[in-house]
Structure 1
């Protein structure tokens, strides 16, 4: 009996690194996947980089709306850089080991930037709400100081919360397998490797999901007054432009929040490794690839600035 207890204690404390399985279940497609993910990463960097450049050099884009958009583009670059380079390295070298500290660090930054994106999308929705529903007071309400405060709040609010959550998750004992059936260190696959009762940890995840995903999402979609205000606009051109701006933002919101809610609002027992990987691929690669297109192709100001920039 004593020998079994000692063996159990060793098992609980012996995990010092994990093994990211990634897409090792499809070995014949490794180089194809590397090419697809590398191309997607380059596209994300280039498109978001162009948006940041345009908002800096074109005076017509130096408004609060584009100030938030440039911050969002920079955030997207940081967000994908947490996962994609490491995934590409794992595929290229076939060395999938990651230390406990590196895994915790990756998860922490991923959660911080994900929470920042939720808050920043809510701030961008509020900016459009003020612009459409209270245009006369818009320059006063959304002045430079307020914009900087809103962006700073979006970037910093989640830092202590997500650091605390990461520490709580990695304080769990890990025993048995150290093989993470995922391509980066995310909460659901890490929970599957934890020993003992994770109920309190799961509840804390749900609470944080409500605060950082559900509440901002409800605030964004709850601005029903925007639609009625747009419909009252006398000019058809103004209505079309307002609808274009709002619909673009709602598309990004639906894609990002939808995948996040599905991923983190399930109990540990209901998670499927294949589905979790698909949702993570969708939110960390597919959505960031299309976000710049959604915001720019339907925005005449950005397209005009882009034509002026290109020779």
Structure 2
């Protein structure tokens, strides 16, 4: 078998196609990540490089032991994960299963549910601000409390603003999961369902005993995406009230310490590294399962 020979122009094109994305990835992702890891072990005011002082693990100890918003932010991220995993993700899977039945107008429904996915999370936050506004918001108008003392301040009340933000997030997340799962269902071998029907399985039995087990890789991917979405939650909470007053999240604490007045570069970097380490757990699990299957 003869080797494939590439012309000089082919090599140039190949080098550009591989080199440019790699360079962009290195400049925008890997180099800042390595710098953040290094800065997490230092004490620096963000001005002159000569002011950088080694700090060992003190930034990590401060973040975990002495930084008041840290554990509330961890709790909020856990609640965010639980809400997405137990409500938003199953809702997206249910939508995919229903729309896979070739019901009338299914493409229209798919477009409707997918529309929030095409919007940025910042825009989603702005839309839901219009829904949740205390004095003239859609929800309080529907409840008949807009402009009255009994109107609920959905984004200002720390007892309810987290749940209001979660509903806004679920609106987008469910559509994203629906698209992923629907693509998996459309690519499923139809003979599996036919065999189940011949064996006398009803629709529910076919779904849980044949379809779901056959979509193991999609199931793992959905779990990983749900986990990452919960950890990187930022935009909606930041648009609402900059992640304060009951909406503290780890990603927002990172930004608060790295940008603006009173910045603490070392602490912000330490928080970013902690968030990175936790985020890598589902990614590594997914990659290990994928490579094992490929081998």
User: What's the TM-score once normalised by structure 1's chain length?
Assistant: 0.29
From the CA coordinates, give the structure whose radius of gyration is larger. 2
Question: Whose helix proportion is higher, 1 or 2?
Answer: 1
User: What's the TM-score once normalised by structure 2's chain length?
Assistant: 0.30
